[in-house]
Structure 1
Amino acid sequence: MTVTLESDPSISPRIQFGTELRKFRLSAGFSQRKLCDAIHILDESVLHRPIAGSEVMKGQFEHLLHIGENPRISLQVLPYSACSVVGLMGGFVVADMPKGAPPAAYIESQSTEDRVSERSDEVKGLALRYDVIRVDALPRSESLSMIKKTMRRWTT
């Protein structure tokens, strides 16, 4: 996923990045008005793992489909058939920063605190990992079809 964030010089870039990312993830970034393009890749397993009752699951799928309708957002599913293990170590975001600043990465972790990295080698490694994952992901239309099909399974 690539996100471009506006800069506020009075706030540390790391704090601002985390704050803006959280706001984006809480749906402000899914608005047609937001000036960023984003690519989200979901592992197929998240479509099948029950996290709540059928009504909550239906709402989650409807939200995904709503996001997927936004032309500025690409929602793709990495299918089981890809046999990919590259992204199984945890979620991450690679973001292009404004005003020529180098890209940064937000890295989720189960064993330590989530963190932001501006280290060039780490960001480049994550960008490469992202490219490997995206190559195996279904195209947007097939991904949305899979989400719709899975939603029907949860709601019948």
Structure 2
Amino acid sequence: MPNIRRLDPTASPLDYFGSELRRYRESAGLSQKELGDCIFCTGSLVGQIETAHKVPTREFAERADAALMTDGCFSRLVGLVLRSQLPAWFQAYAEMEAKATYISTYQAQLVYGLLQTPEYARAVLGALQPDNLDELVEARLERQRLLRKEKPPLVWVVLDEAVLYRPMGGREVMRNQLAHLLRFRNERRLKIQVLPFSAGEHPSVQGSYNLLRLDDDPDIVYTEDFVQGHMTANPDSVSEGWLHYDQVRAAALSVRDSADLIAHVMEERYGDQPAAEERDVA
């Protein structure tokens, strides 16, 4: 008989997912290959997930639920699994973000994570060449599900104009990312403003930060340095954060003018360009 690795379901969300997948599969009388055939993947992938060597995607979880008739068990579990793949210092913030009723953010360098396309997220997260890039991208996309809740939070995003010009992932990735931002222009519960270069000095010049408002907990201000994140509910820090945010939002372009600028940069900087020999006309 093959030596089957036995998992400790209490070791981690990933181990629990794997042990439950094996239990349901064996109860259904299916081999790993047979289950893989049902959900359009290889038996090897099923085995890797069952032994906690591979992180499941949400798509895998939903297909496993359908094939094994688990009443959504894996779709509920996969959120915990993917959150566990986030850096340990970020997980507490992600939990509070998921509970927030109002999210405000100023981003000086990058598109806010909740608004990133998969390709842009891959470019951002891949900059440090992590070993688990696929899992980090999947975890970031999982965070974005809060925008699709029955009652999503109010989200107000201010992007520095520099964000639009920093070519993360190349021209096509940036064009698609800016087009994605424009899809939110008519959303009632999500607003995007751009802080133009012409604003000059402003209170948030020192960097990016997020502010969270929650129903049953104090407001939170969150910042990051190059090592880890810092989250605090200290009233003085939060009050200062809201003051800075109100000032930077007031200095930003209107939501409509911001969308016009994003569209302009998308076409002017990342639009289809003629070949070099066609441009170099005497």
1:102 corresponds to which residue?
218
Establish whether residue 124 from structure 1 lines up as the match of residue 200 from structure 2.
no
2:160 corresponds to which residue?
43
Note the residue ranges of structure 1 that are not aligned, 5 or more in a row.
1-13
The 1:143/1:32 distance shift into structure 2, 3 A limit, reads: farther
2:197 corresponds to which residue?
80
Using structure 1 for the length normalisation, give the TM-score. Answer: 0.79
Percent pairwise identity:
28
More moved, 137-146 vs 45-54: 45-54
Bigger helix share: 2
Deviations 1:71-117 (A, max 9, x none): 21110000011113422322111111112x2211111223x411211
1:21 corresponds to which residue?
97
Shift of 1:20: 4.7
Using structure 2 for the length normalisation, give the TM-score. Answer: 0.46
Which structure ranks higher in relative contact order (CA pairs < 8 Å, sequence separation ≥ 6)?
1
Establish whether residue 134 from structure 1 lines up as the match of residue 249 from structure 2.
yes
Deviations 1:116-144 (A, max 9, x none): 11111111111111011011000000000
Note the residue ranges of structure 2 that are not aligned, 5 or more in a row.
1-89, 100-112, 115-140, 273-282
Runs of 4+ aligned structure 1 residues displaced above 6 Å come to none
The 1:41/1:95 distance shift into structure 2, 3 A limit, reads: same
Q: Secondary structure at the match of 1:84?
A: coil
The 1:18/1:32 distance shift into structure 2, 3 A limit, reads: closer
Answer with 1 or 2: which has the greater Rg. 2
